[in-house]
A and B are shown apart, each in its own frame.
Chain A
């Protein structure tokens, strides 16, 4: 049976967005089946208008981080997202959060599935590892 990894992301800041994608991408590159579930403020990371910034005062330095990351071979957030998708990572948006925040299915990045807690917990129960990033 293939290994499974679940990641829960509840914050929409650049650091958490990037961190979760790096782990997802690495796991997928290692042959692991990866599921990333975005809830609360994380949900905006799977919307078309996504443009994550660092938290607090660091926000102002986001551009510098992006530039430095380019220098070490890492793409922009959307490029990393695409790379993860190409490696077979599955992305999910929390249905309740979508209701709470007025996010429509058409606002989501293509390929993002809408899930409820029960469906995600089922995936998590079948996984060897579940990581919470929030």
Chain B
């Protein structure tokens, strides 16, 4: 359900805001991951919905839509939040998504690869992940309320939890 103030973030897309009325929302994360950041002092928040871990797959695509990949999308998300007044040391970082198919060890695990990619990027850049709801085999919808920085994850079964 959409409300006024909902800013929808599509697949391979991102957005940042410091408008208290805004709620950043992304629907239907399968193996994709939402990276959610919030600076509680500047009251600036941002959300990225990336699809794949590594931009070397397609350099042209990566320059046209950097939010498609973890390694090009995450720096873009942070820089865009800095431009609105956020500071790295104050940013709270949360991730959700990265689901995988059931029990076949040999099967493509884009979800798992995406989770590993995010963790590695943050580890290299000395960023702590403050909240995480990843893996499993269900889809997720994620909302970030700019008014208070609250991040809500809803599973395809309808359960809502705060990250």
Note whether A and B form a binding pair.
Answer: no
